[in-house]
Amino acid sequence: MSFLQVTWTDPATQARGYLVIDRLVRGVSSGGLRMRAGCTLDEVRGLAEGMTAKEALNYDPDARYVPLGGAKGGIDFDPYDPRAKDVLTAYLYAMSPYVERFWTMGEDLGLRQSAIDEAIAKIGLQSSIQAVYPLLDDEKKARQRLADAFQVTVDGVGLDELAGGYGVAEAALTGIEHLHLHDPTAFVQGFGSMGGATARYLARAGVRIVGLADVHGVVANPAGLDVETLLLSRDAHGAIDRTKLRPQDQELPCDSWLDVEADVLVPAATSYAIDSGNAGRVRAKLVVEAANMPVTPEAEAMIDALVIPDVVANSATNSWWWWTLFGDVEPTAESAFEKIGTTMRRLVTAIISEPSPRAAARHLAAAAVKEIELRFPES
Catalytic residues, by residue number, are 72
The DSSP annotation for 90-109 comes to: HHHHHTHHHHHHTEE--B-T
- Compute the distance between CA of residue 105 and CA of residue 29 in angstroms, rounded to an integer: 9
**What are the backbone dihedrals phi and psi of residue 29, each rounded to the nearest 5 degrees, phi first?**
-130, 165
What is the side-by-side order of every strand in the sheet holding 286-288? 250-252, 217-220, 208-214, 185-189, 264-267, 286-288, 306-308
- Compute the distance between CA of residue 237 and CA of residue 129 in angstroms, rounded to an integer: 23
Note the helical H segments in the chain: 41-57, 84-94, 96-101, 113-122, 139-150, 159-179, 193-204, 227-231, 297-302, 310-313, 316-326, 333-351, 357-375
User: Are 37 and 76 in contact, with CB atoms under 8 Å apart?
Assistant: yes
User: Are 87 and 10 in contact, with CB atoms under 8 Å apart?
Assistant: yes
From the list 295, 311, 272, 215, the residue with the least C-alpha distance to 39 is: 272
Beta bridge partners, 214, equal 217
- 266 three-state secondary structure: strand
The distance of Cα 311 from the centroid of its chain, to the nearest Å, equals 9
Work out the widest C-alpha separation in the chain, in whole angstroms.
Answer: 62
From the list 15, 27, 20, 29, the residue with the least C-alpha distance to 2 is: 20
- Compute the distance between CA of residue 268 and CA of residue 190 in angstroms, rounded to an integer: 5
From the list 126, 152, 124, the residue with the least C-alpha distance to 139 is: 126
198: CB partners within 8 A, 6+ apart: 165, 166, 168, 169, 172, 188, 266, 268, 288, 290
Beta bridge partners, 208, equal 185
